[in-house]
Amino acid sequence: MTAPTSSLIMVKRGYFKPPIRGKLQMYKTLIISGFLLVSAGACNLTQETRFPTAADDEFFKEKPAEDEVFRILITEDEYILRQVAEEDHIFARPSPLARKENHKLFREYDEKWDFMDFTHQGLLRVKLNPQTGMIENVDYEGGKAPRAWQASIMFRDDLMRYEFGFKSGIVQPREFKVRYEWRIKKDPDLTPEEAREKAREFLLDQKT
């Protein structure tokens, strides 16, 4: 009876040391557990990117430019994301809340600029961090931003909210392009005077 009591005291006071093999097994278990926790956290991003279908707008069916991977079409009623290349390597998933808030902002400008049919376009080049896959930089390809400076900022801000996942676990491609098209329809109920006033306000905004 004395030996077990003595052993318990030694363990309680920290005198007992587990065998080397036991230590290695313990460390191995901790390392594997930690790896699984990190992996679980990294896998929250799931593939939700859709590819163009026959029912999609013609905008999505045009041949992609070099390095173009995603396209985004914005209208008063819709915000549509499609992937047009690199489907074996990368996928995108925007924040649903960010998408909703961004579309709300676009719709506010729809109401301000609905004095005529309007299309704003932009082709942006994205650079990702090679380790994290997070966006490092977004610039307009060739420096060609949309003619309305508000659209230029809104496209860029919208894209900066995206996250990307990689099927092989490797950040590939690290650089690619995203094309935006934002369509605004003329309000048929506007009087000629109202349309002219909105057009005047738009032109003044572009000079500020």
Kindly report, residue by residue over 168-196, the tens digit of the pLDDT: 999 999 999 999 999 999 999 999 999 99
Determine whether 192 is exposed, middle or buried from the number of CB atoms within 10 Å of its CB (0-12, 13-18, 19+). Answer: exposed
pLDDT at 125: 97
pLDDT at 50: 78
User: Within 13 Å, how many C-alpha atoms sit on residue 1's CB side?
Assistant: 0
> Residues with Cβ < 8 Å from 81, sequence gap 6 or more?
49, 50, 70, 71, 72, 92, 94
Confidence band of 22 (pLDDT split at 50, 70, 90):
very low
Measure CA 13 to chain center. Answer: 54
As given in the structure block, the two tokens for residue 158 are 């919208």
What residue segments make up the domains of the chain, in order of their start? 2-42, 58-207
Question: Span 76-102, mean pLDDT?
Answer: 86
pLDDT at 104: 87
pLDDT at 9: 35
Cis peptide before 130 (omega within 30 of 0): no
pLDDT at 103: 85
> Residues with Cβ < 8 Å from 147, sequence gap 6 or more?
120, 206
pLDDT, tens digit, 9 for 90 and up, residues 127-173: 999 999 999 999 999 999 998 999 999 999 999 989 999 999 999 99
Determine whether 148 is exposed, middle or buried from the number of CB atoms within 10 Å of its CB (0-12, 13-18, 19+). Answer: middle
Among 101, 107, 99, 143, residue whose Cα is nearest residue 125: 143
Confidence band of 208 (pLDDT split at 50, 70, 90):
low
Question: Measuring CA to CA, how many Å separate 109 from each of 48, 74, 102, 128?
Answer: 28, 12, 11, 30
Q: Report the predicted TM-score, pTM, of the whole model to 2 decimal places.
A: 0.73
pLDDT, tens digit, 9 for 90 and up, residues 49-79: 678 888 888 999 999 999 999 999 999 998 8
pLDDT at 54: 83
Measured from the Cβ of residue 146, the count of other Cβ atoms closer than 10 Å reads 20
Handedness of CA 103, 62, 178, 208 (dihedral sign): negative
Confidence band of 30 (pLDDT split at 50, 70, 90):
very low
